[in-house]
Chain A
Amino acid sequence: MSTFGFYFDSSACSGCKTCQVACKDKNDLQAGIRFRRVYEVAGANWNKTDEGAWEHDIVAYNLSIACNHCENPSCVKACPTTAMHSELDGIIQIDPKKCVGCRYCQWACPYGSPQYNRQKGIMQKCDFCRDYILDGKQPVCVTSCPMRALEFGPISQLIEKYGDNRSVFPLPDPSITKPALFIKPHPGAARASELGGSIINREEVKDEQ
């Protein structure tokens, strides 16, 4: 049972990826491994008008996703070695000494969070900056955000402050894993599905290992 969560204001996220790199710096991650990824969602119809101008109904927004430290973590269930485990405080961590590198957690996670480190042959992922939390500090992604669009805190507190919305297109149904991720959707997000919106920066978020 997770105690902490992220709040993400998608309406304010510019997609600058400072969070992604702040995280990479803290965790010494080589290119290709991203504990936090920024997905660019967009959809639109473009039409030329009779007077020769262009009309569009575009929707575009960003989703910054790390590990959601789900309350019902499918990765922990999937892991054959128990390397992927939930700490008492609900933070889900990988024990590198146990991980066999089977990548099954990667299949099981509906958020693409576990990342495979080819050089080490094991999985890695966001640990909420557990060392920082234990030190009374915030995760490094949260304090990096130039738009102040990320927050971190106890789940109950985040729900009280922002409500209990854990989904936005195209994230999976939150009932699958109960992610500790609370989202303020971009105003356009409601139309994204009907516009045939999709993730358009796939090469910037895919697991390349």
Chain B
Amino acid sequence: MSNSDWPLMVFTLSMQFSVGVVLLYDLFLLFPIALKKEKLPLRFQMILLVALVAALTGVVFSLLHPGNPVNAMKTLSNLNNSWLSREILFFISYSGMLLIVTGLQFRFPSAVRSYKWLLDLTCLTGLVLVYVMSRIYWLPSMPAWDSIFTPISFYLAMFLSGSCFLLLFQLNSGSWTSQKGLAVLIIAIPVIQVALLPVYMSWLEEAGDSARQSVSLLLNQYLPAFYLRLGFEILTIAFGFWAFFSIRSDTLKRRNLFIPALLAFITMVGALVIDRFLFYQQIVPIGNL
């Protein structure tokens, strides 16, 4: 991994986290509230703020990556061909909309219904953004990235980080059902991630010399990291179960959820950071030139 990949790692993770938070917030929390015409709990306003901060962190780190950021404005010049141009377009759109919707929510907390369409649009933009982001890496020259596994892995990271965060955040205020739903995600996504690993690796084995060398990198040089990541995933699943069974309809006992939710969040961060580290680390260009 070259030094310039570190900012990209932070950028992709924080953007996926941001989109995940906004999306799950919209689906799990806001949707029921909007349905019931309730006033937005004050605490919920912070959620979008966190998503916004994550997106702005992404902005900062994305600017650390290029060697000549003076030309940053020129990066929108190749929308016809370049997935990077498109990513930047969606990135700007998403962040802009998120900024507006966050502002609206703070200014008009009770009028959620009137601007929920904007939040929905932000979610949609975010979903497209994650896809476009994955297309940047979906390159014939990089066999380890050159497949549908790349968008899948990005979306899974998005859902997992979003759900872990939301569960932790709405300990006292979320609905019993939405908490159950988030806990299910916290269990299910790592299970999918772990289950996909052998599928991905065996696909790589068949995808040519360079792809095979990627497998070999993962299983030799980066084996400790690889195992560490696996461990974090399994722990996340375990804490997900713990959280799931700690969820009670009785609001008084919800504090019991704090510890498993926090642990799940921490192990999730560990798993995703290592996963993304390996994502950049494992590449062997085609021909290995």
What is the CA–CA distance of A109 and B68 in the complex, to the nearest angstrom? 20
Does A74 belong to the interface (CB within 8 Å)? Answer: yes
A to B contact number (C-beta, < 8 Å):
116
Give the CA-CA distance A81 to B74 in the complex, in Å: 5
Q: Taking the complex as formed, is A148 at the interface, i.e. its CB lies under 8 A from any CB of chain B?
A: no
Q: How far is the CB of B187 from chain A (nearest CB, A)?
A: 35
- Over the window 274-289 of chain B, the binary record of Cβ atoms lying under 8 Å from chain A Cβ atoms (1 yes, 0 no) is 0000000000011111
> 1/0 per residue B66-94: CB within 8 Å of A?
11111110111110011111001000000
A110→B71 contact, CB < 8 A = no
Checking B68, B139, B286 against A100 with a beta-carbon cut-off of 8 angstroms, the contacting residue is B68
DSSP class of A's interface residues: helix, strand, loop or mixed?
loop
- One of A37, A77, A122, A170 near B81 (C-beta < 8 A): A77
Write out, one digit per residue, whether chain A residues 162-179 have a CB within 8 A of any chain B CB (1) or not (0): 000000001111001000
The reply to whether B71 and A98 form a contact with Cβ atoms under 8 Å apart is yes
Instruction: Count residues of A near B (Cβ-Cβ below 8 Å).
Output: 41
Residues A102 and B141 in contact in the complex (CB < 8 Å), given A80-B77, A170-B288: no
- A65-B289, A103-B4, A176-B140 are contacts. A80–B69 as well, Cβ < 8 Å? no
With CB as the reference atom, state the residue of chain B lying closest to A111: B289
CB distance from A171 to the nearest CB of B (A): 5
Tally of contact residues, B, Cβ under 8 A = 32
- Whether B67 pairs with A101 at a CB distance below 8 angstroms is yes
A80 touches B82 (CB 8 A): yes
Whole-angstrom CA separation of A81 from B77 in the bound complex = 5
Q: Is B287 within 8 A of A122, CB to CB?
A: no
B288 close to A100 (CB less than 8 A) = no
Distance in angstroms from B165 CB to nearest chain A CB is 29
How far, in angstroms, from A184 to B243 measured CA to CA in the complex? 64
Q: Which residues of B contact A101 (CB under 8 A)?
A: 66-69, 71
* Interface 1/0 per residue, B137-169 and A, CB below 8 Å: 101111000000000000000000000000000
Nearest CB on A from B91, distance (A)? 11
Contact B76 A74 (CB under 8 A): no
A80 partner residues in chain B, CB cutoff 8 A: 74-78, 82, 84-85, 88
Q: Contacts of B82 on A, CB cut-off 8 Å?
A: 77-80, 104
Which 5 pairs from chain A and chain B are nearest by CB? Answer: A101-B67, A121-B67, A110-B141, A121-B68, A80-B75
Footprint of B on A, CB under 8 Å?
37, 39, 65, 74, 76-83, 97-104, 107-112, 116-118, 120-122, 170-173, 176, 193, 198-199, 205
10 additional A-B residue pairs with CB within 8 Å, beyond A76-B81, A102-B67, A176-B141: A74-B139, A78-B81, A78-B83, A80-B78, A100-B71, A104-B84, A107-B142, A108-B141, A112-B285, A121-B67
